[in-house]
């Protein structure tokens, strides 16, 4: 690990000013669960680390006037897992409580996961899956972006060098009637080989009137599969939707090499499972 200077601002504005002052060699650090590994293998060599963990305004959850759930970027998984959230917002707490291990959950943050842009991580895929928006603050002001598109590639976000992700905003409860998240995990690492988020608005007969399906882990950034979601909203079976989703994410997957066929099959079965679960939740709403 190369030597660095540790900076500990207590406001977001202070953190942004420090990132700007030492750009391009400064990096924000939240829980350090990804960045410390990068420092150790020297794939990251910042001269200044700007800690976000002492900035109270970046941590915690609140419900906005329009019913959106605003989650501070420096909120840890452990805080999320403990939160008592109504309706499908509660799936956020379930996902946070079911990833990694206790030490990682105690330090790792939702914002750190999104900014790492690792396609195997759960939170980026979940945020895209429910149509979340992200609040960003930088030296030139604030902006709000869709979670979808925030990662430009694996490990690459659209954040500028003096920008901080300040919050992840889940849409109001009424946006979806049911949300189901499924993943098949790496045995030692716990992150996803494939994850699937299925968000539904139900029709009167317990079918999906509107659907959004997102697949993480199989491509450099999580992808929404519009064709499969349209099939679902058109009344197709979960098995048909699963096959269509797998073909959309990995075209020609059944004819590919062993690793591709394996992922194709995982997508098929996880989509089927997530759709079945979300539909059964819709029927009980
Ligand atoms: C053993 C282990 C098991 C794991 N298992 C899982 C798993 O099952 N599922 C899963 O999803 N993940 C898993 N992870 C990954 C984990 O989710 C991430 O390491 C963690 O969320 C990163 O958050 P952090 O706060 O520690 O980020 P940091 O390591 O502090 O930062 C990561 C990156 O994000 C940037 N950054 C952080 N916060 C901000 C911000 N607010 N604004 C701008 N930039 C920011 C940093 O500059 C850095 O580039 C695992 C990690 C470990 C070590």
pLDDT digits (tens, 9 = 90+) for 1-42: 889 999 999 999 999 999 999 999 999 999 999 999 999 999
Q: Does domain 5-51 have CATH number 3.30.70.580?
A: no
Residue 282 has pLDDT above 90, yes or no: no
Q: What are the tens digits of pLDDT across the range 139-152?
A: 999 999 999 999 99
The pLDDT of residue 80 is 98
Q: What are the tens digits of pLDDT across the range 220-274?
A: 999 999 999 999 999 999 999 999 999 999 998 778 789 899 999 999 999 999 9
Mean pLDDT of the chain: 95
- Residues of the chain above pLDDT 90, percent: 89
Residue 281 has pLDDT above 90, yes or no: no
Mutate to test the pocket of ligand 1, among 15, 115, 183 (most ligand atoms within 8 A of CB): 115
Domain boundaries 176-284, CATH class: alpha beta
Q: Return the domain boundaries, the chain.
A: 5-51, 56-173, 176-284
Ligand 1: nearest atom to the Cα of 74: 41
User: Which of 207 and 200 is assigned the larger pLDDT?
Assistant: 200
d(CA 103, CA 92): 19
Rounded average pLDDT over 64-81:
98
Residue 285 has pLDDT above 70, yes or no: no
- CA–centroid distance, 51 to ligand 1, in Å, is 13
Report the 3 state secondary structure along the chain: CCCCEEECCCCHHHHHHHHHHHCCCEEEECCCCCHHHHHHCCCCCCCEEEECCCCHHHCCEEECCCCCEEEECCCEHHHHHHCCCCHHHHHHHHHHHCCCCHHHHHHCEHHHHHHHCCCCCHHHHHHHHCCCEEEEEECCEEEEEECCCCEEECCEECCCCCCEEEEEEECCHHHCCEEEEEEEECCCCCCEEEEEEEEEEECCCCCEEEEEEEEECCCCCCEECHHHHHHHHCCCCHHHHHHHHHHHHCCCHHHCCHHHHHHHHHHHHHHHHHHHHHHHHHHHC
The pLDDT of residue 205 is 76
The pLDDT of residue 216 is 96
Ligand 1: nearest atom to the Cα of 113: 21
Mutate to test the pocket of ligand 1, among 103, 116, 194, 196 (most ligand atoms within 8 A of CB): 116
Q: What are the tens digits of pLDDT across the range 31-60?
A: 999 999 999 999 999 999 999 999 999 999
d(CA 165, CA 27): 12
User: Which of 220 and 284 is assigned the larger pLDDT?
Assistant: 220
Residue 160 has pLDDT above 90, yes or no: yes
Domain 56-173 falls in which CATH fold?
3.30.465
Protein residues with CB under 6 Å of any ligand 1 atom = 27-35, 52, 73, 99-100, 104, 107-109, 111-113, 115-116, 121-123, 159, 164-165, 189-191
Rounded average pLDDT over 165-170:
98
Mutate to test the pocket of ligand 1, among 19, 23, 30 (most ligand atoms within 8 A of CB): 30
d(CA 33, CA 103): 9
Residue 164 has pLDDT above 80, yes or no: yes
The pLDDT of residue 204 is 67
When mean pLDDT is compared across 66-70, 206-210, 268-272, the lowest value belongs to 206-210
């Amino acid at each position: 690990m190369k030597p660095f200077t540790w900076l500990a601002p207590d406001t977001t504005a202070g953190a942004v000013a420090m990132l700007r002052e030492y750009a391009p060699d400064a990096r924000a650090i939240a829980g350090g669960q990804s960045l410390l590994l990068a420092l150790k293998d020297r794939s990251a060599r910042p001269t200044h680390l700007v800690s976000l963990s002492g900035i109270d305004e970046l941590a915690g959850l609140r419900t906005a006037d329009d019913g959106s759930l605003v989650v501070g970027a420096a909120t840890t998984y452990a805080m999320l897992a403990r939160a008592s959230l109504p309706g499908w917002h509660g799936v956020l707490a379930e996902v946070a409580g079911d990833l990694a291990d206790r030490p990682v959950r105690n330090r790792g943050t939702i914002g750190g996961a999104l900014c790492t842009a690792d396609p195997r991580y759960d939170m980026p895929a979940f945020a895209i899956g429910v149509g979340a928006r992200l609040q960003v603050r930088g030296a030139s002001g604030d902006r709000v972006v869709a979670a979808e598109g925030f990662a430009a590639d694996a490990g690459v976000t659209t954040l500028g060098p003096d920008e901080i992700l300040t919050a992840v905003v889940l849409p109001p409860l009424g946006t979806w009637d049911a949300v189901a998240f499924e993943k098949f995990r790496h045995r030692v690492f716990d992150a996803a080989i494939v994850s699937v988020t299925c968000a539904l608005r139900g029709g009167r007969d317990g079918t999906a009137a509107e659907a959004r399906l997102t697949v993480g882990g199989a491509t450099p950034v999580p992808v929404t599969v519009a064709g499969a979601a349209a099939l679902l909203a058109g009344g197709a079976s979960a098995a048909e939707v699963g096959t269509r989703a797998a073909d959309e994410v990995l075209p020609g997957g059944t004819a590919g090499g062993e690793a591709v066929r394996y992922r194709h099959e995982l997508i098929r079965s996880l989509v089927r499972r997530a759709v079945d679960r979300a539909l059964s939740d819709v029927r009980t709403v």
